[in-house]
Amino acid sequence: MGLVKLDIGSKIIFDDKEYMIKSFPSLDEVLAKLTTTPYNEKILKVSEIIKESRNANESTKSLVEVNDEKFQQALERYLIIEPLLNIPNRKAEDVEKIAKQSNKGTATIYRWLSTFEQYNTVSSLATNRENCGQKGKSRLNESVNAIINAVIDEFYLNKQQYPLSIIYMKIAEKCKNIGADCPNINTIRNRINNIQPKLVAKHRKGMPIRETRGMPSNFPEVKMPLDVIQIDHTKMDVIIVDEKTRESIGRPYITVAIDVFSRMIYGFYITLEAPSFFSVGQCLLNAILPKDDTLKQYDIKGEWPVYGLPRVIHMDNAKEFRSISLHNFCQEFRISDVYRPVARPEFGGHVERVIKTCMQNVHQLPGTTRSSIAERGTYKSEDYAAMTIDELEKWYLDFVVNIYHKTVHGSIGMTPEEKLYQGIFGIGEGTIPFLPTVPSNTLKLRMALLPAIERTVQKNGITIDYITYFSETLRKWIIPSQYKKINPNINNKLLCRRDPRDVSKIYVYDEDIKDYIIVPYADIRRPKMDLTELRKSIAEARKAVSGRELEPYDIFEAYDRLQQYVKNAKFEKKSVRRQKSSKLHMNKNLKMEKELLDNSQMEAVKSSNKTIEDDDGYEYYPIG
Give the model's confidence band at 394: pLDDT under 50 very low, under 70 low, under 90 confident, else very high.
very high
Domains of the chain as residue ranges with CATH: 3-55 (2.30.30), 142-212 (1.10.10), 229-439 (3.30.420.10), 447-621 (no CATH)
* pLDDT score, position 428: 65
Q: How far is the C-alpha of 183 from the C-alpha of 140, rounded, in Å?
A: 7
Range 413-440 average pLDDT: 81
Using the predicted structure, report yes or no on whether residue 570 has a pLDDT greater than 60.
Answer: no
* Selected residue with higher pLDDT from 483 and 200: 200
User: What integer is the mean pLDDT of 123-129?
Assistant: 67
**Distance in angstroms (rounded) separating the CA atoms of residues 3 and 623:** 14
* CA nearest to 523, candidates 563, 556, 494: 556
Which residue type, as a one-letter code, is found at position 592?
A: M
For residue 401, the surrounding DSSP H or E stretch is helix 389-402
Contact 283, 257 (CB under 8 A): yes
pLDDT over 90 for what percent of the chain? Answer: 21
Strand order, beta sheet including 11-14: 11-14, 17-26, 29-34, 41-45
Q: Look at residue 252 in the predicted model and tell me its pLDDT.
A: 93
* Reported confidence tier of residue 588, pLDDT bands at 50, 70, 90: confident
Quote the pLDDT of residue 489.
65
The radius of gyration computed from the CA coordinates of the chain, to the nearest angstrom, equals: 26
3-state SS, 539-601, equals: HHHHHHCCCCCCCHHHHHHHHHHHHHHHHHCCCCCHHHHHHHHHHHHHHHHHHHHHHHHHHHH
Amino acid at 161: Q
291-326 pLDDT, tens per residue?
988 899 889 999 999 999 999 999 888 888 888 888
Please give the pLDDT value at position 34: 84
Which is more confidently placed, 7 or 423? 423
Nearest to 3 by CA among 439, 332, 311: 439
Instruction: Give yes or no for a contact between 262 and 225, defined as CB atoms under 8 angstroms apart.
Output: yes
434/486: higher pLDDT: 434
Question: pLDDT band at residue 351, thresholds of 50, 70 and 90?
Answer: confident
Cis peptide before 488 (omega within 30 of 0): no
Q: Could you count the other beta carbons within 10 Å of the beta carbon of residue 110? A: 15
More confident site: 51 or 175: 175
Name the phi and psi angles at 274, rounded to 5: -65, 150
Q: Give the per-residue pLDDT at 202.
A: 75
Q: Could you report how far apart the first and last alpha carbons of the chain are, in Å?
A: 10
**11-47, pLDDT tens digit by residue?**
777 877 888 888 777 777 778 888 887 778 888 887 7
Better pLDDT: 417 or 342? 417
Q: pLDDT tens digits for 458-507?
A: 889 999 999 999 999 898 888 776 666 666 666 778 888 999 989 999 99
Burial of 199 by CB count in 10 Å (0-12 exposed, 13-18 middle, 19+ buried)?
middle
Higher pLDDT, 313 or 435: 313
Calculate the dihedral angle through the C-alpha atoms of 580, 583, 588, 590, rounding to the nearest 10 degrees: -170
Query: Is residue 56 a contact partner of residue 457, using CB atoms and an 8 Å limit?
Result: no
The pLDDT of 70-75, averaged and rounded, is 79
Q: Is the previous residue joined to 216 through a cis bond, with omega within 30 degrees of 0? A: yes
Mean pLDDT of the 515-521 span: 87
Residues with Cβ within 8 Å of residue 567, at least 6 apart in sequence: none
How confident is the model at residue 477, as a pLDDT?
86
CA separation for the pair 389, 581 (Å, rounded)? 8
CA distance 145 to 148: 5
